Structure 1
Amino acid sequence: MIKREISIMKLVRHPYVVRLHEVLASRTKIYIILEFITGGELFDKIVHHGRLSEAEARRYFQQLIDGVDYCHSKGVYHRDLKPENLLLDSLGNMKISDFGLSALPEQGVSMLRTTCGTPNYVAPEVLSHKGYKGAPADVWSCGVILYIDKAEFSCPAWFPVGAKSLIQRILDPNPENRITIEQIRSDEWFQKNYVPVHLLEYEDVNLDDINAAFDSAEDQGDNPQCEIEDTGPLILNAFDMIMLSQGLNLATIFDRGQDTMKYQTRFVTQKPAKVVLSSMEVVAQSMGFKTHIRNYKMRIEGISAKKTSHFSVILE
């Protein structure tokens, strides 16, 4: 699922979609560098400030439709559109995020089957277990974001007539009759102050780096005892150091069959790696332990204090 979400985010490059900048990999971790969005969720904005003005709601809805339409043009169906997954940047523009439940087209398959999404925002046909089309399902969720109580709903008196009419066409329980994104764009209420987004000519999208990152992590995760040539001590970049937190360790994703995290103790020193290992070797041998050093790693072997079992410690 992680690999699919990363691939989708690299595929959809649009001003109203959170931008994936780069994917890096270490032996057990995948680092995802995303666009920094500072304005929080649209959901939080509504919770803290109440309902939006008509003009502001229209602008966000226009941006949402532009972003979703672009995703659909790339064959990507989000399937979990909701205010919590819509972020606001420092300029007040909306960004679609969280493609974890998104679907990509499969050859020869026209209908989606997986029931997923957030219940309050899911189109009726998704719950029917008879298959559904991704585009109309996303359109329904867009209508819910604009406003929904239930399929048979009533709008309060202050609700703009134009918006009410548009929502009624979006929230049609029959996906075959539901308004399309193209029809939404031509709606009179939607068209007011609408400025179509200008798409930049992005570089060709290539997923080879993503595949390579996961292949590398999986290969090394499958065989944690594999040896590599002695190329010097392990060098940590800023992301490696940030990810030293066990709460951010993704090792269990790649170590198939393992559902536990290895316990590790770390310390920091300014001494060269060779000096540190040499000092540890002297101390370990003075205590009667056997030591083995290779590729700047040292294995210490011995017998437990009660002399009931053997143990080993790996130093890296």
Structure 2
Amino acid sequence: MEKGNVLMKRYDIGRLLGQGNFAKVYYGRDIKSGQSVAIKVIHKEKVLKAGLIEQTMREISIMRLVKHPNILQLYEVMATKTKIYFVMEYAKGGELFKKLCKGRLKEDVARRYFRQLVSAIRFCHSRGVYHRDLKPENILLDENGDLKVSDFGLSALAESKLQDGLLHTTCGTPAYVAPEVIGRKGYDGEKADVWSCGVILFVLLSGYLPFFDSNLIRMYRKICKAEYKSPSWFPPNIRKLLTRILEPNPHIRISFDKIIEHPWFMEGLETKPCDNESKEKEMILPVMTKSTTNTNAFAIISLSMGFDLSGLFIENDNKEEVQFTSKNSPSEIMIKLEEISGNLNFRVVKKDEGLLRLEGNMSGDCLCVDIEIIEFACSFHVVEMKKVKGDVVCFQKFLNGGIRTALKDVVWSWQGELPMVNDGD
């Protein structure tokens, strides 16, 4: 992709912001709104060869799941036969790491960043997401100087836990990884993230790493024993907090819920109730609760946002069934389906509660389609359309020959669809 290209007639592509082994990130601008964005371009062939399909799909699903003011937002995903495009929030301030290269931060600035980091990661945990690679290089700053957590490529979902309730994949950046992750005996993703946040706090306040050695084995030994020395300028309350965060035993390590109650963390929030700090306190302190709907949040979002991500790597022209989500009532959906079937010269041969069977001719061939309406959550339904008789090509013609357009009033999102763009890059 060259500078000056236009993506999907929607985004102007600008300068290269950064690159890795499998992707490049460009500055972009939404042509219609003028909004600045970052566009991550991933080469499918490289991802396939490296066996990173699952990781790429997991990153997309997780970024769609964690919507928070201090988490870099994924706006949309597009794909061609050769590339995948992440259109993301643009963090004008760049990496926090570059800011730290100039030296340690003032205590009040470090505390502000730490509050925002804890707020973001605590929110991730409330959604069953564990980051597992927290470090200043993966933390960006926006134009207002607010923190944005990024890079969820190594993240895990609660569903990844084994029968022992623990995660077992050893991953992360050595200097920031928790001792139990190194031990390879299983670990709690939440407690591991707490440790990494503690290392980041130390770096924010001191300007250097608490655990560092040119010999990796020696560094791991220091981590496992929590052998570090706080600078002389650290006040006692910070030393005490870090001691509780950088606790080698995860069972007695402080939790995020306790961190936000710590006096150093709370300093200024209660004594200076200015607008910004009041908003910050509201964002951090509420305990996340899970209703019945939130329990299924990942599954609901997965369906509603088009999360059949196999379409990124496999052509889906021969599907024999499709799904869409709707916020309309079953009766409204049923009425609309019957109306459309009549317009397409299909007849209703079976009708039951939440089930409709249509039969008709498509290109001279008989086609029979079952349509089932499933209540997934309160005021949220999944509609499955499945070919039970006839040719797959006829079924695709049935779908694309007007039914998709006709259903636009009741469809929230078609599952498995990602905008396709021309390979002119």
Instruction: Give the TM interval when normalised to the shorter protein.
Output: 0.5 to 0.7
Greater CA drift, 100-109 or 49-58: 100-109
Decide whether aligned partners of structure 1 residues 33 and 182 sit closer, same or farther in structure 2, where only a CA change above 3 A counts: same
SS of structure 2 residue aligned to 1:66: helix
Aligned to 1:42, which of 80, 87, 96?
96
Q: Is the 8 A contact 1:27 1:220 kept in 2?
A: no
Displacement, 1:214? 3.7
Q: Deviations over 1:273-296 (max 9, x none)?
A: xxxxxxxxxxxxxxxxxxxxxxxx
Q: Deviations over 1:129-187 (max 9, x none)?
A: 11111000000000000115131222111112221111111000000010000110000
Q: Deviations over 1:290-315 (max 9, x none)?
A: xxxxxxxxxxxxxxxxxxxxxxxxxx
Please tell me whether residue 186 in structure 1 is matched to residue 239 in structure 2: no
SS of structure 1 residue aligned to 2:167: coil
Displacement, 1:113? 0.4
Q: Which residue does the alignment assign to 1:54?
A: 107
Q: Which residue does the alignment assign to 1:140?
A: 195
Greater CA drift, 210-219 or 68-77: 210-219
Q: Is the 8 A contact 2:84 2:312 kept in 1?
A: no
Please tell me whether residue 162 in structure 1 is matched to residue 237 in structure 2: yes
Displacement, 1:240? 4.6
- Structure 2: how far apart are the matches of 1:196 and 1:210? 34
- Structure 1: how far apart are the matches of 2:235 and 2:156? 34
SS of structure 1 residue aligned to 2:301: coil
Moved over 6 A (4+): none
- Structure 2: how far apart are the matches of 1:190 and 1:122? 22
Q: Is the 8 A contact 1:29 1:217 kept in 2?
A: no
Displacement, 1:124? 0.3
Decide whether aligned partners of structure 1 residues 50 and 211 sit closer, same or farther in structure 2, where only a CA change above 3 A counts: same
Q: Deviations over 1:28-81 (max 9, x none)?
A: 33221111111011110000x210000000000000000000000000000000
Q: Which residue does the alignment assign to 1:76?
A: 129
- Structure 1: how far apart are the matches of 2:236 and 2:113? 18
SS of structure 2 residue aligned to 1:92: coil
Decide whether aligned partners of structure 1 residues 158 and 7 sit closer, same or farther in structure 2, where only a CA change above 3 A counts: same
- Structure 1: how far apart are the matches of 2:74 and 2:306? 11
- Structure 2: how far apart are the matches of 1:217 and 1:173? 42
SS of structure 2 residue aligned to 1:111: coil
Percent of residue pairs identical: 48
Aligned to 1:89, which of 128, 137, 142?
142
Q: Which residue does the alignment assign to 2:301?
A: 206
Displacement, 1:17? 0.5
- Structure 1: how far apart are the matches of 2:247 and 2:283? 31
Q: Which residue does the alignment assign to 2:315?
A: 219
Please tell me whether residue 63 in structure 1 is matched to residue 127 in structure 2: no
Aligned residues: 229
For normalisation by structure 1, the TM-score amounts to 0.66
Q: Is the 8 A contact 2:78 2:421 kept in 1?
A: no
- Structure 1: how far apart are the matches of 2:248 and 2:199? 12
Q: Is the 8 A contact 2:62 2:152 kept in 1?
A: yes
Name whichever structure is richer in strand by fraction.
2
Q: Which residue does the alignment assign to 1:25?
A: 79
For normalisation by structure 2, the TM-score amounts to 0.50
- Structure 2: how far apart are the matches of 1:37 and 1:169? 32
**In the alignment, residue 92 of structure 1 is paired with which amino acid?**
G
**In the alignment, residue 120 of structure 1 is paired with which amino acid?**
A
Give the alignment of 1:285-304 within 5 angstroms.
Answer: none
Larger Rg: 1
Q: Is the 8 A contact 1:79 1:103 kept in 2?
A: yes
SS of structure 2 residue aligned to 1:218: coil
Displacement, 1:213? 5.2
Displacement, 1:221? 11
- Structure 2: how far apart are the matches of 1:15 and 1:64? 10
Q: Is the 8 A contact 1:76 1:104 kept in 2?
A: yes
Q: Is the 8 A contact 1:121 1:141 kept in 2?
A: yes
Aligned to 2:155, which of 84, 96, 102?
102
Q: Is the 8 A contact 1:27 1:221 kept in 2?
A: no
- Structure 2: how far apart are the matches of 1:102 and 1:167? 24
- Structure 1: how far apart are the matches of 2:238 and 2:301? 40
Q: Deviations over 1:171-215 (max 9, x none)?
A: 00000010000110000000012432549xxxx762234434542
Q: Which residue does the alignment assign to 1:116?
A: 171
SS of structure 2 residue aligned to 1:43: helix
Please tell me whether residue 11 in structure 1 is matched to residue 65 in structure 2: yes
5+ residue gaps, structure 1, are: 232-238, 246-316
Displacement, 1:219? 1.9
5+ residue gaps, structure 2, are: 1-54, 203-208, 212-225, 270-279, 285-296, 319-392, 401-419
Q: Which residue does the alignment assign to 1:263?
A: none
SS of structure 1 residue aligned to 2:281: coil
**In the alignment, residue 114 of structure 1 is paired with which amino acid?**
T
